[in-house]
Amino acid sequence: MNSGTPVVNCPAESACAPDVAPLPIGAVRSYDDLRRIVAEHCARLGMTRAELDVEAGIADGHAAKLLARRARKKLGFVTLGRVMAAVGLVLQVAIDPEAQASPSARRARTLRSHWRRQRGPAWGKRMAARRALALSAEQRSEIARKAAQARWSRPKEEAPTPDVGA
């Protein structure tokens, strides 16, 4: 059924044409990579941040906050499409051969457990602290009083006598 040509999923409102193949300019594996590639492409085009604001139809100074090295704003679902269209970029999704090579490494990265799922002394301390935050001062005082009475009412353990004759 498929004659070997790649299937391109282009919604009707998108600007991509099926007869023109997009030219790859970089690989994006993280949000920071995307910001960096868009900023570098703007620099290659000679487009200033102010020009990008006008072309994308976003607020004055917003592109500078989006594409700075230490960005103060993030590309959202509205601004991403506008910025990409203004600079003439399109996103393509592809299978990463490096990630496909080691599914165990990918699984280990995604299965990091949350601190609440880990049991142990650190978990107990955190849970006790969370519980204490919900209690009033009188309730905490009553709990401490009962704990002290329980400690002092316990019979003292007798110290073992050393064996002198052995």
For the chain of 166 residues, list the mean pLDDT of each consecutive stretch of 10. 48 56 85 92 93 93 91 89 92 80 61 67 83 90 93 79 65
d(CA 64, CA 60): 9
Distances (CA, A) of 125 to 121, 130, 133: 6, 9, 12
At residue 15, the pLDDT reads: 54
Spatial CA neighbour of 41 closest among 59, 55, 61? 55
**pTM tops 0.75, yes or no:** no
**Distances 53 to 25, 30, 34, 42, 73 between C-alpha atoms, Å:** 22, 23, 18, 12, 14
